[in-house]
Amino acid sequence: MFVLPETTTGPERLLLEAMLDRNRRAVADTVRGLSETEARARLVPSATTPIGLVKHAAMVERRWFQRLVLGLGEDDCDGPSTPGEASFAVADDETVAGVIAEFERASARSREIAARFGLDDTWTHPVLGEVSLRFVHLLLIEDFARHAGHGDILAEQLSSR
């Protein structure tokens, strides 16, 4: 479901942060209202599930902001930060509400971390080389928009069953 942006003018940083937050909400919204069973439904050949998309998004937050920007090790992060198919895995005892809360905590921490730096501050990514905070914001906007779209399609499939 398309929701109009709340912030459409202002300085670059404000717009980047507003768009990133908009896409964060969109990812979480794809599982709100789904039952625990629906959230775990595998409707595509990959390990992607609606709840798994939100779990993966929490990992993405930690990977970019805690690991890259702060330079923390995996064990020092507040949750998993290793990419790949395992980042979509949700334990049997995890709930939709709990996974959304995990993602929201990771997002809040990312906001706090980002606030310490300027958009032109850079870090060395092991594959991409030098990346700026501006790039990290843009990459996550793109990534979360894509995942929200995936989640919307999965929710649509579930509602047509």
* Cα 100 from Cα 52, distance rounded (Å): 10
pLDDT of 107: 98
**How much is the pLDDT for 13?**
97
Q: What is the mean pLDDT of residues 69-89?
A: 94
Residue 115 amino acid letter: A
> Is there a domain that residue 6 lies in?
no
Q: Is residue 111 part of a domain?
A: yes
Instruction: Identify any residues that bridge with 123 across adjacent strands, giving them in sequence order.
Output: 131
**Structure confidence at residue 17 (pLDDT):** 97
Is 25 domain-assigned?
Answer: yes
User: Which residues constitute the domain of residue 60?
Assistant: 12-159
Band of pLDDT at residue 1, cut at 50, 70 and 90:
low
Q: pLDDT by residue (tens digit) across 32-59?
A: 999 999 999 999 999 899 999 999 999 9
| Cα angle for residues 28, 149, 10 (degrees, 5° grid) | 75
Domain annotation covers residue 31 = yes
Structure-token pair, residue 47: 């390990």
Q: What is the pLDDT of residue 114?
A: 98
What predicted TM-score, i.e. pTM, was given to this entire model? Answer: 0.95
What is the tally of structural domains in the chain? 1
Report the percent of the chain where pLDDT is more than 70: 99
Average pLDDT, the chain: 95
Highest mean predicted confidence (pLDDT) among 43-47, 69-73, 81-85: 69-73
In a domain, 4, yes or no: no
Mean pLDDT of 90-102: 97
Residue 2 has pLDDT above 90, yes or no: no
The answer as to whether 68 is a domain residue is yes
Instruction: Determine how many CB atoms are found less than 10 A away from the CB of residue 96.
Output: 21
Give me the CATH number covering residue 95. Answer: 1.20.120.450
Count of positions (residues) in the chain: 161
